[in-house]
Copies of this chain bind each other. A is one copy, B any other.
Amino acid sequence: MTNLFIQKLCLRAPLCDADVNALAAATSRIQHYDAGQDLITEGSKPDFAYIILEGFACRYRIMPDGSRSILAYLVPGDGCDLHASILNRMVHSISTLTPCTVAPIPYRTIKELAAYRPNIYLALWWSVLVDESILQEWLVGVGRRSSDKQLAHFFCEVLTRLQSVGLALDTSYRIPLTQSELADTAGLSHVHVQRVLTDLRKAKLIEGGRKGWTVPDLTRLRAFSGFDPGYLHLSPLGENSKAETTADLSNATREDFLKKFGSSDFFPD
Contact call A115/B233, Cβ cutoff below 8 A:
no
Q: Let me know if A63 and B126 touch, CB within 8 A.
A: no
- Can you show 15 pairs from A to B with CB atoms below 8 A apart? A43-B242, A46-B245, A46-B247, A47-B246, A61-B140, A68-B144, A71-B140, A84-B129, A85-B249, A86-B249, A87-B129, A89-B230, A89-B250, A115-B267, A142-B143
What is the copy number of this chain in the assembly? Answer: 2
The reply to whether the CB of A240 lies closer than 8 angstroms to some CB of chain B is yes
Given contacts A46-B247, A89-B240, contact A115 B83 (CB under 8 A): no
Is A133 an interface residue when CB atoms closer than 8 A count as contact?
A: yes
A contact residues, range? 35 or more
Asked whether, in the complex, the Cβ of B140 is within 8 Å of the Cβ of A63, the reply is: yes
A216 on the interface (CB 8 Å rule)? Answer: no
From B46, B131, B138, A132 is in contact (CB under 8 Å) with: B131
**Contact pattern, A 140-174, Cβ under 8 Å of B = 1, otherwise 0:** 10111100000000000000000000000000000
- Cβ–Cβ contact B250 & A92, under 8 A: no
From 239 to 258 in chain A, residues with beta carbon under 8 angstroms from any chain B beta carbon are: 240, 242-243, 245-250
Say whether B45 contacts A269, CB under 8 Å.
no
Q: Mark A117-134, 1 if CB is under 8 A from B, else 0.
A: 010001001101111110
Alpha-carbon separation in the docked complex, A47 to B243 (Å): 12
In the complex formed, the residue of B with least CB distance to A183 is B143
Residues of B within 8 A of A144 (CB): 63, 67-69, 187
